[in-house]
Structure 1
Amino acid sequence: MTDLTPNVPDALDDDDQDLDDMPPRRRRRGIYILPNLFTLGALFGGFYAVVMAMNARFDMAAVGIFCAAVLDSLDGRVARMTNTQSAFGEQMDSLSDMVCFGAAPALIVYEWALKGLGKAGWIAAFVYCACAALRLARFNTNIGIVDKRFFQGMPSPAAAAMVVGFIWVVDDHGVKDVVGSPALTWTAFAFALYAGLTMVTNVPFYSFKDISLKRSVPFIVIVLIALGFAVITIHPPIVLFGLFCVYGVSGYVVYGYKRLKGKPVSVISTSKDEPDERGLH
């Protein structure tokens, strides 16, 4: 009689062999929540600013941009402190910066004043927006060869703060019909061009990245920080606008000082193989 019972061990061996032949299952890659929450918060600030500008609430639009700048300054530090850096986070941060500090300020200043200048107005707004994109693209490509202590050109959050800070100060003084004021309109035009073009210069701007939050500091430093917050609360529009205006010209002061002293003025390292070296152009 023929045995019709299947050879179970052989069948199991075939299954095991099939499993061995299958490619290993790739582990799904996720994203880190904490730093990207700060980035999303900054992105919301930029979106909120545009919506407020569409509703002629330019004071709230300025607040949205300043909040976005604060959150943008924190996401990278949080990622480094928690060791949650990722390529996704870098791309997300760059795209958020383009919205918050490139497109949003250009649209806000155009809606606030530049539309009264006709073609000159939208050209100035576009120049600012294009310079922000160029500055971010250059930052991403030169990130490994730039002296970490300085930015190459004014950073986009500071440029946006200068433009919307001027809007905030004027709006805070009760001036609403800016389009009908040639002086304010052309001043906004000048701020947009200055901030935009300064972003794509090679002028060094201090980055504050060499300040470590993990190091101990003298007690007086904490006192000065508290005093700084107190000064800002006296009148936020004027104080913040003044601070960013000082920062906006500080790069040219540093550039001129280094020129007079015969020191290197470029923040690009002389060797791509050693990006941390101190030898600069």
Structure 2
Amino acid sequence: MDDLFPPFAPDPNDRPRRFRPVPFRIIAPNMITLLALCLGLTAIRLAFEDRFEPAVIFVVVAAALDGVDGRVARLLKGTSRFGAELDSLADFVNFGCAPALILYSFTLHNLKSVGWIVALVFAIAMCLRLARFNAMLDDPNRPEWKKDYFVGMPAPAGALTGMLPLYLHFLGLPFDSWGTPVILVYVLMIALLVISTVPTFSGKTWGKGVPRDLVVPIFLVVVVGFGLVISFPFEALAAISVGYLVAIPFGAMQYRKRLKREDARSDEAPAALD
């Protein structure tokens, strides 16, 4: 038995393992992501309390923070695998679970089980979209120009456009008995756009270089846009949502044109070698 269970004596030369301190540049982006996650979870609570206006605002602010954390990480050179995984999990809560539960509490509950199924479809569509996005990041054969486009509607845009009925309700549009079925169909449409392969503008590669004569006009546009969002938040959100939906076909057409040019160059290259 002594051979099976030999006595163990700790090595007196072993020293306790010391972990290196984590740089703040890596912690800062994750703190922003966690703050956005707290906002998304609080939005769910507010929805159950029928406080829909602050719930929507919290999701909008979470979307704004989602656009900031990645840029902060790249600016500080603090990107990490942990941060990428945390960001995906936070996105699922903020843009999948929170909008689905807000919409269910707002009106989809009137359709009982059917409304709950639609809320599930919306949330699961966001989950599938985020999983596909993470998988495509590891594709080494993806052309550089395709980074200008998302495959399907991105999660933050899906969440913000999905809550368009709430913006209209806050602006005074009444939703009577006919409103709930229309909202159900609209939410399903957004869910399908999220998991579709329709190319949409990314915007991540914009702003690498700005012509000098456009600097001042851009400043003015940003200031005016910020003032409109602060003064007329739901009017601005409704206009942005409608404008984004209208722009989707134009983004898809531009993508197809660039894809045709890429295919033409690929066909010309072998011909030139022959």
The whole-number CA distance in structure 1 between the counterparts of 2:104 and 2:116 is 7
- CA displacement 1:227-258 (0-9 Å, x = unmatched): 22223234210211221222134223322455
- Contact kept? 2:167, 2:237, Cα under 8 Å: no
Cα distance in 1 for partners of 2:246, 2:147 equals: 20
- Structure-1 separation of matches of 2:101 and 2:136: 28
1:216: how far off? 7.6
Are 1:231 and 2:228 an aligned pair? Answer: yes
- 2:240 is aligned to 243
Aligned counterpart, 1:188: 183
Q: Deviations over 1:67-124 (max 9, x none)?
A: 1000111000000001110111001100000000001111110111111112321121
- Structure-1-length-normalised TM-score: 0.77
Return closer, same or farther for 1:144/1:215 CA change in 2, 3 Å cut-off.
farther
What is the RMSD of the two structures over their aligned residues, measured on CA atoms? 2.7
What residue in structure 1 maps to residue 269 of structure 2?
none
> Would you say the 8 A contact 2:29–2:70 is kept in 1?
yes
- The residue type equivalent to 1:185 in the other structure is T
Q: Distance in 1 between matches of 2:130 and 2:19?
A: 32
**Could you tell me which residue of structure 1 aligns to residue 163 of structure 2?**
164
Higher helix share: 2
Counterpart-to-counterpart distance in 1, 2:137 and 2:177: 41
- 1:207 aligned residue: 202
Give 2:216's aligned residue. Answer: 219
Which has the higher mean CA deviation after the structures are superposed, 95-104 or 211-220?
Answer: 211-220
Match of 2:252 among 252, 255, 276: 255
Deviation at 1:206, TM superposition (A): 1.1
Matched positions, count: 242
- Alpha-carbon separation, structure 2, partners of 1:239 and 1:149: 25
Identical columns (%): 33
1:87 maps to 2:84: no
For 2:99 and 2:227, locate their aligned partners in 1 and report how far apart those are by CA, in whole Å.
Answer: 27
- Describe the shift of the 1:95–1:258 C-alpha distance in structure 2 as closer, same or farther (beyond 3 A): closer
- The 5 A counterparts of 1:120-139 are 120-139=114-133
Q: What is the Cα deviation at residue 183 of structure 1?
A: 2.4
What's the counterpart of residue 267 of structure 2? none
Deviates more, 1:52-61 or 1:115-124: 115-124
Letter in 1 for 2:79: Q
TM-aligned CA distance change 1:257 to 1:150, over 3 Å: closer
Match of 2:45 among 30, 44, 51: 51
Query: Is the contact between residue 45 and residue 64 of structure 1 (CA under 8 Å) also seen in structure 2?
Result: yes
| 5+ residue gaps, structure 1 | 1-16, 266-281
Computing the radius of gyration from Cα coordinates, the structure with the larger value is 1
Question: Once the 2 structures are TM-superposed, how far is the Cα of residue 148 of structure 1 from its aligned partner?
Answer: 1.9
Q: Distance in 2 between matches of 1:95 and 1:73?
A: 15
Q: Distance in 2 between matches of 1:187 and 1:172?
A: 18
Say if 1:26 and 1:66 are closer, same or farther in 2 by CA, change over 3 A. same
TM-score w.r.t. the length of structure 2 is: 0.79
Aligned-partner SS, 1:122: helix
1:95-114 to 2 correspondences below 5 Å: 95-114=89-108
Partner SS state of residue 182, structure 1: coil
Moved more, 23-32 or 38-47: 23-32
Match of 1:151? 150
In the alignment, structure 1 residue 64 sits paired with structure 2 residue 58: yes
